[in-house]
Amino acid sequence: MGAVYLPSQYGLLLVPLASVQVKPGDKLRITCRYSHIGKGESQTLYAAIGNSGWAGFDEVLHGSKTISVPEDANWNYHEDYVDISITTVISAGVYDLYAKIGGAIPEVISPTLHDVVEVLAETPESEFGEISITDYAKV
């Protein structure tokens, strides 16, 4: 399970993050808060599920959408969300999560949340194994 350090009166406090369970066919909605100043513009909000490692973030699934950011005369915070469709491309396991604004050269990248998405194995198709008579009586 992932965790983040938050400042408190006792110093840094380790706060565990709850993981979310998903399976193929689900959507994972990631809500982000970002700060902005300056002219309004349209940008891409992007989020990905994958594995964070020494070589960077190995993305397995991602989602993106265009957001319209209003003009901000001062630094302002805004919130928006992006959905990631969970498909069979991803195998069962525990994954990391991150989000960014922008394209190939991002404007800003979020901290990675570790081990917060648990992908469950797909429920098998309906199948019958055997049948036997357990009783017989006059009705």
Question: Residues in the site for other proteins, rule: CB under 8 A?
Answer: 20-22, 26-41, 43, 47, 69, 73, 75, 79, 83, 97-102, 107-111, 113, 116-117
Residue closer to other proteins by CB (options 66, 132) is 66
Shorter beta-carbon distance to other proteins: residue 90 or 101: 101
Q: With H, G, I as helix, E, B as strand and everything else as coil, classify residue 105.
A: coil
Dist. CA 104–CA 107, nearest whole Å: 9
CA distance 61 to 26: 12
Length of the chain in residues, anyone? 139
Residue number, 22 or 60, with CB nearest to other proteins? 22
Closest contact distance (angstroms) between CB of 10 and other proteins is 23
Q: What distance lies between CA 2 and its chain's CA centroid?
A: 13
